[in-house]
Amino acid sequence: MRQFPDRSPNACSKYLLGIALAAGSIALTAPAHAQLTLSADSEPTDKPWKMPATIAYTRNGDGSSFTTIDAYLKYNGILKTKGDDNFASSGSWSVAGFIHKDNTADAPRNDRGVVLGYSRLLVFDYPNNFPVMSTTWNAKVSVGKSLQQVTDTPVPIFTDRNKDREQLYVTGFLQPAKQDSPHHTASSTTKSAPRQMDMYFLWETGLYSDHASGGNGKGTGRLNGARGKLEWNVFPLGIIAADNKVGAYGVAPVITLSAQVQHDLSASGTRKKDTYRLYAASLTLEFETIVADGSVGRVTPSLNFTRSVGADLLTGRAYEGKTEIALGFTF
């Protein structure tokens, strides 16, 4: 069986921590029971939940100016962890407030509101030479206001609408078995094992309901639908950055390919059923600063290249092709 150092809640929490961070579902901190995070957004394709919140003011040469704000403040509470010889599980609840504002004249945006969420993570305990698997059950409710375009050319008109959205979905995580399992040990063939590639898969499936009201024109009513997503993450040089030294840094490149689809099953009001597809590919270089004694330093830079094409109803993204380059620092 896959061994925990012991079966105490803290031991199970530490085991769950590695799975949850890799799966990107819920963040567990052991032995702490809550955490407060401030980021740019929740969890769309370009991983803004890893990026800092931003406030920017731009003044143009013609005297015009605009302001952009992207902030997502989330409080995450951890419920009691359970574990035995067959599984380990933990619940997580969260409450968040968000604002996304951009007052440019051609494409203004003003979204704000609150999000309530609950997740239950279940990690299955199999022998060490078996894949690592977990399942997360999620429920999320968001309520707020959103600025939406209600007329097209020649002069677009925008109105502030009430928005609520409910989601129920399941997230799965699968990491294939490592080749250095008890039945395939590196020591049985060579004195030094070659650097191994790591990978894991994520999938999501569930239901959603999106409702908008207030104001006149198109876009009011409710959409009910189903969603699905598949994601593949591969670490060509392994998942531990410190094993791949580049000067004073360790680096762990990760390649991510994802495909998702959202299909409306019913529509009311002036809204029409549609299907939304989104495809993305990204390369992320996660660095770690290696200090003199070999330990990891506090500053962790990262560089991300992402290309995405498609639309996403649940993040408000219209159909577009987008290429992004992001440089980040974690302290």
Instruction: Give me the pLDDT at residue 17, please.
Output: 35
Query: Does an H or E element contain 20, and which?
Result: helix 9-23
**CA-to-CA separations, 30 to 12, 89, 192, in angstroms, rounded:** 9, 13, 33
Range of the domain at 40: 9-183+196-330
> Is 4 domain-assigned?
no
CA nearest to 213, candidates 161, 164, 273: 161
Instruction: Give me the pLDDT at residue 195, please.
Output: 61
> Is 189 domain-assigned?
no
Tracing tokens 């803290």 back to the chain, one arrives at 10
Task: Compute the distance between CA of residue 213 and CA of residue 200 in angstroms, rounded to an integer.
Answer: 40
Residues 79/90, Cβ–Cβ less than 8 Å? yes
> Is 2 domain-assigned?
no
CATH code of the domain covering residue 321: 2.40.128.130
> Is 1 domain-assigned?
no
Instruction: Give me the pLDDT at residue 265, please.
Output: 97
> Is 201 domain-assigned?
yes
For residue 45, give both structure tokens: 């394709």
Structurally, how many domains does the chain consist of?
1
Question: Which residues lie across from 330 on neighbouring strands?
Answer: 300
Whole-number average pLDDT of the chain: 75
Tracing tokens 């004073």 back to the chain, one arrives at 248
Instruction: Give me the pLDDT at residue 241, please.
Output: 73
Instruction: Give me the pLDDT at residue 132, please.
Output: 82
**Helix/strand/coil for 22:** helix
Q: Name every residue whose Cβ is closer than 8 Å to that of residue 323 and which is 6 or more positions away in sequence.
A: 305, 306, 307
| Residues 227-266 as b or e (16 or more Cβ within 10 Å = b) | bebebebebebebebbebeeeebbbbbbebebebbbebee
Instruction: Give me the pLDDT at residue 153, please.
Output: 64
Instruction: Give me the pLDDT at residue 70, please.
Output: 79
> Is 208 domain-assigned?
yes
Residues 138/173, Cβ–Cβ less than 8 Å? no
Query: Is the model's pLDDT at 16 over the cut of 90?
Result: no
How sure is the predictor about 12, in pLDDT bands with cuts at 50, 70 and 90?
A: very low
Range of lowest pLDDT (72-81, 140-149, 255-264, 274-283): 72-81
pTM: 0.70
> Is 190 domain-assigned?
no
Instruction: Give me the pLDDT at residue 117, please.
Output: 92
Among 104-113, 263-272, 313-322, the range with the most confident prediction by mean pLDDT is 263-272
**How large is the greatest C-alpha to C-alpha distance in the chain, in angstroms?**
73
How sure is the predictor about 167, in pLDDT bands with cuts at 50, 70 and 90?
A: very high
Query: Is the model's pLDDT at 6 over the cut of 60?
Result: no
Other C-beta atoms closer than 10 Å to the C-beta of 131 total 14
Position 11: which residue type? A
Q: Please, is 9 exposed, middle or buried when counting C-beta atoms within 10 Å of its C-beta (0-12, 13-18, 19+)?
A: middle
